[in-house]
Structure 1
Amino acid sequence: MSLAVIGIVMLCGCVGNNTNNSSSSSSNAAASMPMVKLVNCKGQGSMPQLLSTKELDAVIAWEPMPEILKTKNIGKPIIYSQNLPPKGMWKDHPCCVIVASDNALKNNKVAVDEFLKLVVLSTNEINNNKSLAIDASAYWLGVDKSVEKLSVPHIEYFTNPEKDVPGTIEFVKVMNSQKSLTGKLKGVNDKDTIVNTLFDLKPYNTVMDEIKNNNSPNVNDNNIPTLRVAYLPTDHHAALFVAAKYPELFKNKYNIYLKEITPKKQYELYENGKKIANIKLIQVSEGGAKIMTLMAQNQVDIGFNGVPPAVFAIDKGTNAKIISALHGEGSAVVVRSDIPVNNWKEFVNWIKEQHKEGKQVKIGHPLPVSIQYVMIKKALEAENITYTE
């Protein structure tokens, strides 16, 4: 796959100043210069190019980008997100979630619930057979299966939103410590307030009750809504891809499925032979923050995106709630292939050595409101690595 194709398949590129390393003969200048420059990226599409041209030394990226970089010999993953410092902080960390607008939750409750049911069942199928996620993600993203075979095992797929509550509370605390929250959650540390502001657990509980008791909702045949569902081009959202790619599996096993109208764009959701909703899929290349912006503008009803974009948007007044988890973990720090390090400890030492020589290490991240951004900052701080942005 060419770098250009990778850029199209993944997310659009990084932005920032020229990131070439430069030496300084002044020890005073080296001492005062932060060791690392964090490069603000709008997605991940330019990461292969910027690493290849040595404009970046490393990136923190979500899957499957780390494995794309590895298979193309552009970079090497040196640590996966669950192992980043501070020790133990990121084990089972939440990453992507399903967010629904308050309007959809109020006015299209049945459609939202049953779409969520399909995602829950799809996640269960993935955990029983990871090849479903591998095949569907390769098809949907246009990447080789060999990439997905490396990527999917690093992702923990689950949907119970309560599993995300502790990690989300920690994110809110981190964001408040960085003075990043300015609205509803500014300075808030109370668990119940955070949960009530960000989560609506009722849809998931309804769905689980339906699955357990083999129940189905009453459907108003005269009112078939359209749900506009936005997602990112990442195998983090494999549950959606699997549900769309294998309708017969879900129809035969669960009597709920997506009927394809236009591949990867238009579907109809059916349950027990009845049409529940029209589903319009919207791929968003700019990241989760863009999805939340579209939701605030009433252009999206359901968003598959990261926890931090959801937190930032709801904090600032977007009328929406997290209704389900999607997965945990699934990111990595990738160092350029020519850099002589093979693990996180060696990378930290290399950063310090570069600093002594008056060089600043450049690390790219997807977005300032991404979980990857939060993790790399905390990891650098834990190692006493100074940084600028």
Structure 2
Amino acid sequence: MKPVKIAATACIALALILVLFTTGCTQPSSPSASTTAPSANGTVGILETAGVGPMPSLLATGQVDGYISWQPVVEAGVESNIGQVAVYSKDLPPVGEWSNHPQNVFVVRKDFYAQNPDFVNDFSALNLAATQYINDHPQESAGIVADWLAGKQNFTYGNVSVSSVTAVNNALPTIEFTNDPSDSWMSSTSDFVQALIGIGTINGFVKNSSDRNAVLYNFQPYQSAAAIIAAKNVTTPAPLQNTVNVGYLMAVDHSALFVAVKDWQYFNDTYGIALKPEDLTKAKPDVADFLVNGQKVATVNLVPANAGPNLMQLAATNSLQMSYVGVPPAISAIDMGTPITIAYPIDNLGSGLVVAKGAPAQDWQSFAAWAKERSDAGKPLVIAAPGKGSIQDVMLRYALQNSGIAITEVKV
């Protein structure tokens, strides 16, 4: 067992380094774009950044014309007065397709679930309870999330600084927290599969499967968790011998994890399930005890990363057994053969395209017109996206493609 733990620890350290690197003031040098065939509707350059940390600073210094991001970085751009929301992800083209699109899901390695079904079901019950808490107590949740993400201090992105509590409060209403894998949710997830096929991102198991639902999903953890919450009766599983590694992003989307950990006593008293930090003084705990009916069942490492594809790389090497992650990275990982399954949704919506303050873009149509105008003037727009294959990157590329706008890859 020791080699596994050492490998996991190394990957966790790498993930932590990536987060620290990308949430500071790191700025790339002036970008240069690769060439592509011209389009009558113009061209947009996409600059892939390592996570979302550099984005507000890049916009503030004029190195990009905009960025597409998850929350709270969308609201941070607005609150700092450096940017304005051109369009939230729900209004990206094709018209109406993304009106309530999936955003993040909870994924589990298949081998881990097969060996520890009761543990995964109980952990999932905690996720469902935390989601309900967020919906019932948005103000309290905003304070908890701001504490986790910034210690209730300002969000600082290079030379941009805004109130974390204000940004999170404004971000929460743009997200729908839900765990229900409804028919409409599955249909919208299928739209993501088609989008990934359309932009050439997936070419493996998912694309070629005759039964994509069987390849993508196992909703048993959700069904078992829902039954536990309804009955308010949880069975204590056998203690796990190995530490469990759970991945997440420093994003408002993953508030269920932050709320569950920071208000662990409430969930312990109400449901008999808790994720208690080993160090109660930390604003952002990294190790917690998973308790069921007052008994410690497992030690859980909480592993942040800078973008969904990074989480899926860790899952592929079994350095993460469970993870909160965007839908496209999860689909792409399954397509490439990573032995994970989507257990249930975490949230819908919650992304946005931010452009420079005063830019002539108040919706997608005016953004597309601006893109054409800038292309015709020989100065194509440059938009930052958080890593190729992330949910925001996929939605931006698909929207541009749908609008007949050519894409160039901008290098640093």
TM normalised by structure 1 equals 0.88
Change (3 A) 1:298 1:31: closer
**Counterpart of 1:186 in structure 2: which amino acid?**
K
Change (3 A) 1:365 1:213: same
Asked whether 1:100 is paired with 2:108, we answer yes
Change (3 A) 1:351 1:365: same
Quote the residue 2:330 is aligned against: 310
Asked whether 1:175 is paired with 2:188, we answer no
Q: Is the 8 A contact 2:145 2:255 kept in 1?
A: yes
Asked whether 1:332 is paired with 2:356, we answer no
Deviates most, 53-62 or 271-280: 271-280
Quote the residue 2:248 is aligned against: 231
Quote the residue 2:299 is aligned against: 278
Change (3 A) 1:119 1:10: farther
| Cα-to-partner distance string for 1:22-52 (whole Å, 9 max, x where unaligned) | xxxxxxx987895211222221111122212
Count of matched residue positions in the alignment of Structure 1 and Structure 2: 371
What's the CA shift for 1:374? 1.9
What's the CA shift for 1:132? 3.0
Secondary structure of 1:322's match? strand
**Counterpart of 1:168 in structure 2: which amino acid?**
T
Asked whether 1:217 is paired with 2:225, we answer no
Asked whether 1:357 is paired with 2:377, we answer yes
What's the CA shift for 1:177? 2.5
Change (3 A) 1:61 1:7: farther
**Counterpart among 308, 318, 328 of residue 288 in structure 1:** 308
Q: 1:226-265 counterparts in 2 under 5 A?
A: 226-262=243-279, 263=282, 264-265=285-286
Q: Is the 8 A contact 1:11 1:44 kept in 2?
A: no
Asked whether 1:165 is paired with 2:182, we answer no
Unpaired runs of at least 5, structure 1: 1-5, 21-28
Asked whether 1:127 is paired with 2:148, we answer no
Change (3 A) 1:17 1:106: farther
Change (3 A) 1:19 1:147: farther
**Counterpart of 1:306 in structure 2: which amino acid?**
G
Q: Is the 8 A contact 2:22 2:54 kept in 1?
A: no
**Counterpart among 76, 80, 85 of residue 77 in structure 1:** 85
TM normalised by structure 2 equals 0.84
Quote the residue 1:24 is aligned against: none
| Cα-to-partner distance string for 1:320-374 (whole Å, 9 max, x where unaligned) | 1111211000011100124243333322222222222222111111122112122
Give the superposed CA RMSD.
2.4
Unpaired runs of at least 5, structure 2: 1-18, 156-163
Q: Distance in 2 between matches of 1:8 and 1:55?
A: 19
Asked whether 1:371 is paired with 2:394, we answer no
Secondary structure of 2:207's match? coil
Quote the residue 1:200 is aligned against: 218
Q: Distance in 2 between matches of 1:11 and 1:74?
A: 17
Asked whether 1:342 is paired with 2:350, we answer no
Secondary structure of 1:185's match? helix
Quote the residue 2:176 is aligned against: 156
What's the CA shift for 1:56? 0.8
| Cα-to-partner distance string for 1:170-218 (whole Å, 9 max, x where unaligned) | 1112222233223212344x4xx11111111111111111222333224
Q: Distance in 1 between matches of 2:25 and 2:177?
A: 25
Change (3 A) 1:371 1:30: closer
**Counterpart of 1:201 in structure 2: which amino acid?**
F
Quote the residue 2:159 is aligned against: none
What's the CA shift for 1:96? 0.8
Secondary structure of 2:205's match? coil
Secondary structure of 1:333's match? strand
Change (3 A) 1:238 1:134: same
Secondary structure of 1:95's match? strand
